[in-house]
Amino acid sequence: MATPKTLPMHPDFARWHASIGIGTDEPQRQARWTAISSLAQSSNSKDAEALIRLAYKTRQAPASAEVQKIRKAFKDCDESFLMEGNDRELQVLAAATLAALTVKGGNKGAEAALAITTTDFVGTRRPELPMDLVAIAEDAIQRISDANRNRPNLTQAVG
């Protein structure tokens, strides 16, 4: 099976990554983005829920197996990624993965964007993140709904 192409790096990812306070190592940043891209492309509803629970630091933690799956994706792409003791880094990377998922679009992106906006609960749950995850999600909802609202060009379908 072919490995999926890496999604284009979000233009703000360098700033998000630097906010974790682990330096500006470009190879490390690229490895983390590769893991984010992989997670965004292979995620399912359970993964998205775990990412939201990590990003929002909800009272009910995600299932341990889901967290280990997410941590393993980062470890597989970057040997220097710690498997424990880096909760803040994992929180920011989970949020970045959600951002990548919503930017990617499609059904999974729409599902993640809606989950983000409902988890935010009209601003009452705002985690301390280097990005405005709700604005990214709302932009994705708008973009996805615009794309779904457009009628297909039938002249291209008729030969």
pLDDT digits (tens, 9 = 90+) for 40-91: 999 888 899 999 999 999 999 999 999 999 999 999 999 989 999 999 999 9
Q: If you search the block for the tokens 């399912």, which residue do you land on?
A: 44
Hey, where are the domains in the chain? Answer: 21-147
pTM: 0.87
Q: How far apart are CA 113 and CA 101, in angstroms?
A: 8
pLDDT class for 141, splitting at 50, 70, 90?
very high
Reference 117, options 129, 133, 101; nearest CA is 133
